[in-house]
């Protein structure tokens, strides 16, 4: 099964590309890392308990306030809403947690590292289960929608990577603030700065080698973006066809060997890119 890594920095249009790929004519299954990250920290989960234990004592407003009586009665009547978490704990206030971990200060970087160490292993486990599910259902390809694909090191497990990018940092900040109007300019810059830069991600994607990395520029309207996605999918399909895909589907031993080979190629590409970057910096 082809694992297509989909990544992009904040507000570059990755989610739009994900929706395009999940819709006809492609109809590819999407494994959304952001969605899984929310699920693994829902009240009552292991991730939730660990976050509350670490950040709760020093973050008084880490959890959302309890629902009012009216909200509680409404949720009981509808069978959903905040009342469904009764007895498991109040949901995490994501905005408060975000302000705690996003930024360049050493303290925030340390807190972000702790949060990632809690959430990332749980997300990876959930992703592995989802990949197995789609493999059993005989899907030829699945999209791994992972914003922090390179930062988390999961790029080496992907057969190919699609990177969604914009050419102007100002456009990225503008789109981020339009998407989340509660963010100040300083907070928006802090969130963008907490991730790997667009330029470096583009370089890493291109550095994967011919046929293993594609960059989709999202500087125009949705029609142009759809055309770019279509072009990339056609190129990927042209490289993934052939009799050996049937062999991979029907032989778990071959699946393991192909997976090991893909990881080795991905690791080699990363090492090559890091070596080139190191030489470039040494010249400065």
Report pTM: 0.79
Tell me what pLDDT residue 111 has.
Answer: 95
Between the CA of residue 10 and those of 180, 239, 284, what are the distances in Å? 11, 29, 29
Tell me what pLDDT residue 81 has.
Answer: 47
Domains of the chain from N-terminus onward: 1-29+140-284 (3.40.50.300), 33-138 (3.40.50.300)
Tell me what pLDDT residue 82 has.
Answer: 47
* Cβ–Cβ < 8 Å for 71, 42: no
- Residues across the chain: 284
CB atoms within 10 A of CB 12: 25
Tell me what pLDDT residue 199 has.
Answer: 85
Tell me what pLDDT residue 43 has.
Answer: 96
d(CA 268, CA 15): 29
Burial class (CB in 10 A: 0-12, 13-18, 19+), 210: exposed
> Mean pLDDT, 10 residues at a time, over the chain (284 residues)?
89 93 96 95 96 95 81 51 62 93 90 94 95 88 93 88 90 84 84 81 84 90 94 84 54 67 73 71 64
Token digits of residue 143: 């999209």
Please tell me the chain's helix, strand, coil percentages from 3-state DSSP, rounded to the nearest 5.
60, 10, 30
Rg (CA), the chain: 21
Token digits of residue 95: 């905005």
Give the SS3 label for residue 42: coil
Tell me what pLDDT residue 242 has.
Answer: 52
d(CA 125, CA 17): 24
DSSP one-letter string for 47-91: HHHHHHHHHGGG-TT-BPPPPPHHHHHHHHHHT-SGGGGTTT-PP
User: Phi and psi at residue 145, in whole multiples of 5°?
Assistant: -85, 100
């Amino acid at each position: 099964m082809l694992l297509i890594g989909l990544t992009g920095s904040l507000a570059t249009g990755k989610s739009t590309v994900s929706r395009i790929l999940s819709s006809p004519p492609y109809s590819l299954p999407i494994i959304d890392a952001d969605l899984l990250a929310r699920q693994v920290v829902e009240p009552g989960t292991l991730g939730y308990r660990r976050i509350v234990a670490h950040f709760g004592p020093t973050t008084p407003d880490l959890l959302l306030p309890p629902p009012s009586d009216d909200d509680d009665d409404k949720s009981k009547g509808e069978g959903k809403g905040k009342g469904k978490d009764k007895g498991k704990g109040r949901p995490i206030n994501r905005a408060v947690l975000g302000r705690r971990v996003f930024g360049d200060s050493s303290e925030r970087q340390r807190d972000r590292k702790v949060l990632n160490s809690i959430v990332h292993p749980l997300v990876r486990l959930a992703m592995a289960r989802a990949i197995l599910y789609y493999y059993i259902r005989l899907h030829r390809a699945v999209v791994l929608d992972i914003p922090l694909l390179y930062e988390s090191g999961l790029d080496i497990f992907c057969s190919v990577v699609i990177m969604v990018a914009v050419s102007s940092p100002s456009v990225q900040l503008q789109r981020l603030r339009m998407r989340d109007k509660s963010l100040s300019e300083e907070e928006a810059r802090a969130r963008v700065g907490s991730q790997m830069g667009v330029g470096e991600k583009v370089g890493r994607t291109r550095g994967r080698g011919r046929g293993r990395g594609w960059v989709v520029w999202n500087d125009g309207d949705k029609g142009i973006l759809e055309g770019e996605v279509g072009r990339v999918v056609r190129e990927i399909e042209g490289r993934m066809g052939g009799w050996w895909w049937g062999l991979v589907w029907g032989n778990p031993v071959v699946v393991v060997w192909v997976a090991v080979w893909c990881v080795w190629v991905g690791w080699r590409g990363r090492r090559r890119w890091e070596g080139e970057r190191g030489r470039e910096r040494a010249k400065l």
